[in-house]
Structure 1
Amino acid sequence: MGADTWWFIGASCGQLLLALALLRTPSPQQAELAPPALALLRGGPRAAVVVALVALHQRGAVAAGRKGTIRANGGPGRTRDPLQLGVHGALRRALGLRVLAAQPGARRAVEALGGELARAGLIRPYGRLRVARGLLAGAVATAMAGPLILRPSGAELALALVLGAVPTAAALALLALPSTTRAAHRLLAGLRQRHPLPTHRHEVTDGNLVLLYVALYGDPALALFLPRFSRDGGLLGGGAGEAGRGSG
């Protein structure tokens, strides 16, 4: 097999190894996580924002607006939670969930929370994950480009395809890797086992437990405990049906 073909396979393997280094996470730390952090692990940034909105709504700081939006309803109350403060500060006018989650104050608070989870070994840092996925896509493209550009034949072609299939298969498997780690999945599964979703909302009177259920279960918990606020505020379905921008 020619040196040019080896170069393509070597470059593909090099990109794969760099991506693997970026995807490594520290050993998970045992820590008790607040509901917004659990929601971020389960459903990403919007899920974390939803938990913050529920906490604010419990204190009367936010309410459902028009056409599936959320509006501020006074000050944030006595809270030092950065995500709640960031979300409430972004509500200068009524906003849908998608737009609210993208506001700078809310986004920065979610990113800070994600940084804490990354240091705890529960998620892969977003920036490193994006770079790693770019390298993995490049590894697949490089491995496929060699035979297409050089056009080897016979036994040389067969060997090139076999050797190129190894980094290609590994890269495709790693591209399917979620942002959360196995430790995070085990943590969520254990909490769901210890805290199954109740059948009736009257079984739960503790507001903190409501936040925990919303963090762990998302829409089913919202529909159970806060049906009107969730429906009118466009929170169900990750905000997929909300109007996007409200008039305030």
Structure 2
Amino acid sequence: MPTAMWWFIGASCAQLLCAAALLRTRGSEQAELAPQALALLRGGRLAAVTVALVALHQRGAVAAGRKGTIRANGGPGRTRDPVQLGVHGSLQRALGIRALAAHPKARRAVDELRGELDRAGLLRPLGRMRAARVLLLCTAATIPAGLLITTPTGTGLSLAGFVGAVPAVAALALLRLPATPRAARDLLAGLRERHPLPAHRREVTDGRLVQLYVALYGDPALALFLPRFSRDGGLLGQDGGDGCLAGRGRYVSGAAGSAAAGSEGAGSGGAGGGGPD
């Protein structure tokens, strides 16, 4: 194998190590998280905004508008939660959930929450994730570039391909790493185990628990506790669209699916803990 090919392999390994260092997270702080924070871990920005809307709707501060939008319905009520205040402050006019999540006030509030989760070791910082992905793509591309430039043949080609495949395959595997480290995924799994989605909305009378269920389960919990608000406000089918868990955002268990189907047809019957619906 040409000596120059070893330089390409060494460069590929160095890029891989730098990317792995960027993706490392420090030990997480096991503090009690607000429902918006749990939603952000599970399903990203849209999920966090959705839970904030649920809390505001429970106090009568927002309502479903026309054509799948959300509108303000008075003041935000007695809350100091930055995400709820940012979301409510964004509703100078009726907005769809995606436009609302992209509004500067709401976006800034969610970004601040994400920063707190970054510092707690429950999310990988976006800047580091982007830099790591660039390095991983370079890692995977360096070996083919080296083979084209050095043109090894025979045994040298086989050896270069075998050795060079190790960092390239590792880079492709790390590219699939979700933004949430294992500590965050274990936290969500533990909460779901302790708080399975109930079969009927009347089993829950605590509005805070409703927010927790929406944070953990997304659409099934929305359809169970707030069927009319979720449907008319265009919330269903949107939660988790930019999910941090890379495909794990739309968690649905068997009980959750059946509960959602039953409540969607129930309209606004039953008070439960969902607030005005």
- After TM superposition, the score normalised by the length of structure 2 is 0.84
Question: Which residue of 2 is the match for residue 2 of structure 1?
Answer: 2
**Residue identity opposite 1:160 in structure 2:** A
Gaps of 5+ in 2: 242-277
**1:97/1:239 contact within 8 Å kept:** no
SS at 1:29 equivalent = coil
The C-alpha deviation readout for 1:3-40, integer Å capped at 9, x for no partner, is 32122112111111111111111111111111001101
The C-alpha deviation readout for 1:138-187, integer Å capped at 9, x for no partner, is 11011221112322111111111111101111101100100001111111
SS at 2:197 equivalent = coil
Distance 2:17 2:205 in 1: 51
SS at 1:238 equivalent = coil
Question: Which residue of 2 is the match for residue 43 of structure 1?
Answer: 43
- Structure with higher RCO (Cα < 8 A, 6+ apart): 1
Distance 1:177 1:140 in 2: 15
What is the Cα deviation at residue 240 of structure 1? Answer: 9.5
What is the Cα deviation at residue 239 of structure 1? Answer: 6.0
What is the Cα deviation at residue 86 of structure 1? Answer: 0.8
* 1:107 corresponds to 2:110: no
**1:64/1:233 contact within 8 Å kept:** yes
* 1:144 corresponds to 2:144: yes
Distance 2:215 2:62 in 1: 18
**2:46/2:240 contact within 8 Å kept:** no
SS at 2:63 equivalent = strand
- After TM superposition, the score normalised by the length of structure 1 is 0.94
Question: Which residue of 2 is the match for residue 196 of structure 1?
Answer: 196
**2:43/2:239 contact within 8 Å kept:** no
Distance 1:149 1:132 in 2: 25
Identity among equivalent positions (%) equals 74
Question: Which residue of 1 is the match for residue 26 of structure 2?
Answer: 26
Distance 2:166 2:219 in 1: 41
Correspondence 1:93-172 to 2 at 5 A: 93-172=93-172
RMSD value, Cα:
1.4
Distance 1:150 1:139 in 2: 17
**2:39/2:51 contact within 8 Å kept:** yes
**Residue identity opposite 1:59 in structure 2:** R
What is the Cα deviation at residue 2 of structure 1? Answer: 2.1
Question: Which residue of 1 is the match for residue 13 of structure 2?
Answer: 13
Task: Count the aligned residue pairs.
Answer: 241
Distance 2:12 2:167 in 1: 7
Query: Which range moves more in the overlay, 152-161 or 206-215?
Result: 152-161
* 1:236 corresponds to 2:236: yes
What is the Cα deviation at residue 121 of structure 1? Answer: 1.3
The C-alpha deviation readout for 1:43-90, integer Å capped at 9, x for no partner, is 111100100010011111111111111111111111110001111111
Gaps of 5+ in 1: 242-248
Structure 1 residue ranges (4+ consecutive) displaced by more than 4 angstroms after TM superposition: none
Distance 1:141 1:15 in 2: 11
Question: Which residue of 1 is the match for residue 264 of structure 2?
Answer: none
The C-alpha deviation readout for 1:194-213, integer Å capped at 9, x for no partner, is 11101110111110000000
SS at 1:60 equivalent = coil
SS at 1:237 equivalent = coil
From the two aligned structures, give the one with the greater helix fraction. Answer: 1
Correspondence 1:199-214 to 2 at 5 A: 199-214=199-214
**Residue identity opposite 1:237 in structure 2:** G
Question: Which residue of 2 is the match for residue 64 of structure 1?
Answer: 64
Distance 1:185 1:240 in 2: 15
